[in-house]
Amino acid sequence: MQSTLNETNWQSWKKDLIKLLKEFDKLYMTHIKTSHIEMNNIHVSAMKPLVNLMESNLNFHYLELIEKKRNDVPQFRHEALETKFIEHLTIICQLFKVKHYLKFISNYRILEEWMTILILNN
């Protein structure tokens, strides 16, 4: 299957994609509000590790942006956010490992080496 995306139709493709994503978001939010409370609780608990990882990543990213602008940011903040990010990423990796999804991820060895380097440098 070849992609028909090129520099001439990229803008229209992007606009169509954004339109579809907004439409999906609207329908999904309606679905969430009208779904059963029990199912919502299951969804929230299932997505909690990923939400935690995304929040940790965002906090860590914001701190790195602040560190680029200012040099007087305390080192303990960087270490604390890095530790939280590593904890949340480790939980996600363990979930993949438990479910045997890692055989589909070709870069798992790189991820393991990266995690080892981060842990050893602390």
pLDDT in tens, 3-33: 677 778 888 888 888 898 889 888 888 877 7
Q: Examine residue 1 and state whether it is found in any structural domain, yes or no.
A: no
What pTM does this model have? 0.52
Q: Examine residue 44 and state whether it is found in any structural domain, yes or no.
A: yes
Q: Examine residue 2 and state whether it is found in any structural domain, yes or no.
A: no
Q: Examine residue 63 and state whether it is found in any structural domain, yes or no.
A: yes
Burial class (CB in 10 A: 0-12, 13-18, 19+), 39: exposed
Amino acid at 79: E
Amino acid at 115: M
Q: Examine residue 4 and state whether it is found in any structural domain, yes or no.
A: no
Least confident of 50-59, 78-87, 96-105: 96-105
pLDDT in tens, 40-75: 777 788 889 889 999 999 998 898 888 889 888 888
Q: Examine residue 5 and state whether it is found in any structural domain, yes or no.
A: no
Amino acid 58: pLDDT:
92
Tally of structural domains, the chain: 1
User: What is the helix (H) or strand (E) element at residue 28, kind and residue range?
Assistant: helix 10-34
Q: Examine residue 3 and state whether it is found in any structural domain, yes or no.
A: no
Domain that holds residue 37: 10-120
Q: Examine residue 61 and state whether it is found in any structural domain, yes or no.
A: yes
Task: At 100, list the tokens.
Answer: 């045997």
